[in-house]
Chains A and B, each alone.
Chain A
Amino acid sequence: MRGIVSSGTYVMLGNHAIAEGAIAAGCRFCAGYPITPASEIIEKMSERLPEVNGIFIQMEDEIASISSVVGASLAGAKAMTATSGPGFSLMQEWISAACALEVPLVIVDVQRGSPSTGQVSEPQQGDVMQARWGGNGDYEVIALAPATCQEMFDFAIDAFNLSEIYRVPVIILADALVSHMREKVVIPKYNEIRRKVVERRRPDGDPKKYIPYTYDDPNTGELRIPPPPQFGTKYYPLMTWTATRDEMGVYREEPEANLTLIRRICDKIRNNVNSIVRLQTMFIDDADLIVVAYGTPARTALRAVKEVRAKGIKAGFLRLVTVWPFGEKVVRKTIRKAKKIVVPEINYGQLYWEIERVASKEDAEVFLVPQASKLHEPNEIVRKILEVY
């Protein structure tokens, strides 16, 4: 038996790393439905969770998976599910509902060749916009894009932490490449991880005074995110709804109440963009051209930048670790001096539009390097850089 954290240095499959990371972060409930290329996550979870008194259940479809994950999270367990594009599409109704109900949970979306059934074990970044806009109505989620197997482990912990802090579904946008790759993964000691993990907050005090959902502080006007309600305790409202509700969970029919709800669930993320968003930059200071990438293409992009640098081109590298919320201000500040932006994405242009929107404010031109079902080769990006520079 390995205990909660299987510390050590391994050559580990990306999908297994994410499962280990989730368990280290305190995940004790996982529901899933088999789908290539995410199946190894639920396979590992079914092996590892019983060792730590956690529940893994294989549900009848992805909708049931996320339904039970939302239920488990509201019963007090840190919970996650793992899927790929087609399953992620099925989950959208609950992602929208989980945002409205402010349920902390983690969804791993291992993206595969798309649209439709696509090419099942090839990588693609086809669900980037779906992660943000897939469900009905206005909401904000957090999405992280890992590029290495080590990051699969680390981001799993980060994802659980963010979901607990902001009470929001966090989506890990991996792809078939990083999930089916074996790389060096260092899993730290239990105590080291323990310090990093954000525990589930439990409501306390007078149950009558407990406010279950995000509310405006009457004194400062700031948004306060209370601990989530919990089934089986006194801290569960008498009546809660997936329908529009106020901060006490009471159903509201007036239009103003819906705007208040949307403002709260969106602004709790938007107001904290600076503390959520993480970027990685290299060679930015003197760059006239910046390659902006996220997920696995960031690896090729960095190689391409280094190659053109050797040729004397002042190219820079910017990696978006957090894809959503989009760090507009900080991205804009980073690309200010550059006149040209190159965006390699394994799709036909998704986050490209968001980057173009921001770059156009700085009068920079944006060029897409599209690809599908495979990672770019470095010279594809190099060629584009030489073409537009």
Chain B
Amino acid sequence: MTLQQLIIQLLSGISVGMVIFLIAVGLSLIFGTLRILNLAHGSLYMLGAFLCFWLSSTLSHLSGAFWWTLILAPLAVALFGGLLEAFLLRRIYTREMLDQFLFTFALILIIGDLCKLAWGVEYHMVSTPWPLNGPITIMGMGFPLYNVFLIGCGPLVFVGLWTFIHYTGLGRIIRAVTYNRDMANALGVNVPLVYTAVFMLGCWLAGLGGALVAPMSAVMLGMDMVVLIDCFIIVVIGGLGSMPGAFLGSLILGLVNAFGILVAPRLAIAFGFILMIIVLVIRPWGLMGKPE
């Protein structure tokens, strides 16, 4: 195991982590503000990936089709999420956790089967878009340029979200609703609208994650479950409701997974769960969360 291979493995882990960050941060935001754990988040990610595949094959006659897809697919998922929130999710905000869990689980089943209905059970592939296909050499070894792009996307989105939440008016309203919903309501904030907006933002992030991951791995049914478990691990480690926590958690999980595969390939899957258990036992609100 040379230094170069180690660095490549590290970068590989981080790039995967950054994609899952996009989905995990959406999950965290939704939990932080709406106080529900949206299990269907993985399915929205899968929907984003399928839409990316569909749009890029439909629009393949346009140059730069992928970039158009990158704009349109997350918007479509956000719109879908908005309708979901307004018509369905609104009814369960006051219900207890089991009901919310099963409700969002039912959405997993429904969205999954809708994808199956629309696009069948085969794997689909999306080709890497033009300026980013091909490898670059890092320290003498090849590394996909697209993965470097993904590593860049993570912090970019994080900085964008942070600026939005902490330096804009709408962000301040969202923070107010997160902190104390009833007070914000009493001060005239349209709380249901804010809830819808935050949910749509979360869905947009999940759709973006799905669209970004499509060129890197196969688009297929079942990708929602895999990413969902990773998201849970990340938001537990980082802290439910905390954006920096989600970023930190994704980095940690990406690195742990990448090195786990090198050190003990058979047990690598378990490392994430072990980390999750350790955090939950020692510091349940996560590394950067606040105790309730």
Chain B binds chain A = no
B interface residue numbers (CB < 8 A to A): none
